Structure 1
C-alpha cells in the first residue's frame, strides 16, 4: 500500500509504521461506505480547515 501525505503543498515523510496506520484506517473507513466497490484502487481525501 502506498500512502502520500501532502500538507499545504509540501510532501510529509512518514515512516513505515505511520504509513501502515494511515493506510489501514482509511481502508477500513472507506470499505464501510455504501456505494464503494470493494475492489477500489485509489482513494483521494482532501481536508480543508
Structure 2
C-alpha cells in the first residue's frame, strides 16, 4: 500500500502549488537522502527542510 504524502512548498512566503507526481518525486529524493543518516528512524513521519541562499 502506498503511503499518503503531504508536501508543502513555500518560496519567499508564497505557497506554490505542486501536483501529486512532483510531491512524490521530491519526497522520494529528500526521504532517500535523509533515511540513511545516523539518528533517523526508518519509520520517520515528518521532515522539515529549509533552504536559504
TM-score normalised according to structure 2 size: 0.84
Q: 1 CA distance for matches of 2:43 and 2:24?
A: 19
Q: In the alignment, is residue 15 of structure 1 matched against residue 19 of structure 2?
A: yes
| Aligned twin of 2:30 | 26
Residue 17 of structure 1 and its aligned partner are, at CA, apart by: 1.2
Q: In the alignment, is residue 5 of structure 1 matched against residue 15 of structure 2?
A: no
Higher helix share goes to which structure? 1
Task: Indicate the structure whose relative CO is greater, using CA pairs within 8 Å and at least 6 residues apart.
Answer: 1
- Between the two proteins, the alignment pairs up a number of residues equal to 49
Runs of 4+ with >4 A deviation: none
| Aligned twin of 1:38 | 42
Q: What's the C-alpha RMSD, in Å, of the aligned pairs?
A: 0.8
Question: What SS is found at the alignment partner of 1:43?
Answer: coil
